[in-house]
Amino acid sequence: MKIMHWIGIDDHADKWTIAHVEGHDEKPNKVFEVVPDQKGFRRLVAYVKGLTGEVRVVYEAGPCGFDLYRRLRAAKIDCQVAAPSLTPTKPGDKVKTNRRDASKLARYLRSGNLTLIVVPDEKQESLRDLVRQRASVQRDVGRVKKQIIHLLLRYGHRFRDGKAWTQKFWHWLKKTELTGAHSRFVLNDMMTELEHRIDQLKHYDEAIHEASRLPEYAPYVDGLRTLRGIDTLSAMTILSELGDLRRFPTAPQLMAAIGLVPGESSTGDTTTRLSITKTGNAHVRHIAVEAAWHYGRGARVGRVVRARRVNQPPELVAIAEKCDKRLSKKFYRLTSRRKKSTIAAVAVARELIGFIWAIGQIVHP
């Protein structure tokens, strides 16, 4: 009989804690630590390849990324990465150490209680870094804008001649005088920071647009842009976060992976539906909900979206047209029943993910 070896690794920036469980043993046969450098990696590989039988390795996704996974795979070692938020925990277990975590991972891998993630390749991870950093810069822009507004309010200044952050607002902002001895210095510094962040945001937008025109991405992005509410940035977010949508056998599985399905708490004959689970990829969930608001304006398609559908495959255009009718009708039906518009938007976003999945079966990166 072939001997199975289960190895759990607690991945940390300063050390790897490695637990080896052989066969059906309850306790690990060996637990040791190595420094995560070249010498430590060679020691880990030598130990794993010195075992007789089939070896499977697992560690949890974390801030150290997927470098260990790729290096072990390159060394012909079967390695998997587990989703940490879905690793089972015992309510009464209050002791947490690196050794216990590594041993638990090895046993849970053996019993099949871990939820394993799909590790992106280096190209997809690089694209994801670009898109996520752009989102981080956008948050910084919003943060600095709020700081400026709050500073002005503390000195009794409020712009009342239109919307904020228009050219007229900027002209008013630069002429505003503050009474504090150092307040104008603070305001000028905030304005400089804001202008820098806005320029940085434009720089990232240009980089994302250039990436979307690459041959391996352009058909996928153009296909998703046939849907209302999905433009280049949204399509690139979906691409960088989810990759090839064909790995999801059905659309409901993709909806569940993004966290747009309702939770449930049922017992006996009582069934209680809860709000959406909000598990999985929050970036794609945000994109889907934001895009869903476009379907509250009716099924009429504007000039820009019609232009995107020109020269696209007929099957993609048919999916997009069906999406227009179905989701607009659903949004109207929910709001006419006095459902909150926010609830309607989430429900529409869930079905929008289904149409995105359908397009992903036709065109893919």
One pLDDT digit (tens) per residue for the chain, 365 residues: 678 999 999 999 999 999 999 999 989 999 999 999 999 999 999 999 999 999 999 999 999 999 999 999 999 999 999 999 889 988 888 899 999 999 999 999 999 999 999 999 999 999 999 999 999 999 999 999 999 999 999 999 999 999 999 999 999 999 998 988 899 999 999 999 999 999 999 999 999 999 999 999 999 999 999 999 999 999 999 999 999 999 999 999 999 999 999 998 888 888 888 889 898 899 999 999 999 999 999 888 999 999 999 999 999 999 999 999 999 999 999 999 988 999 999 999 999 999 999 999 999 87
Task: Flag whether 334 is in a domain.
Answer: yes
Question: 60 - beta bridge partners?
Answer: 82
Q: Are residues 250 and 351 in the same domain?
A: yes
Instruction: Report the distance separating Cα 352 and Cα 337, nearest Å.
Output: 20
Whole-prediction pTM value? 0.90
Query: What pLDDT is recorded for position 94?
Result: 86
Q: Are residues 25 and 78 in the same domain?
A: yes
Query: What pLDDT is recorded for position 1?
Result: 62
Task: Flag whether 116 is in a domain.
Answer: no
Query: What pLDDT is recorded for position 220?
Result: 95
Q: Are residues 231 and 317 in the same domain?
A: yes
From 111, 138, 168, the end of a domain falls on 111
Q: Are residues 277 and 233 in the same domain?
A: yes
Half-sphere exposure of 91 (CA within 13 A, CB side): 0
From 153, 188, 212, the end of a domain falls on 212
Task: Flag whether 248 is in a domain.
Answer: yes
Helices 341-362 & 251-258 angle (0-180, nearest 10): 130
Query: What pLDDT is recorded for position 274?
Result: 86
Task: Flag whether 117 is in a domain.
Answer: no
Domain that holds residue 248: 219-362
Identity of the residue numbered 314: P
Query: What pLDDT is recorded for position 181?
Result: 84
Torsion, Cα 134 136 138 142, to 10 degrees, reads 180
From 158, 190, 212, the end of a domain falls on 212
Q: Are residues 246 and 317 in the same domain?
A: yes
Query: What pLDDT is recorded for position 307?
Result: 95
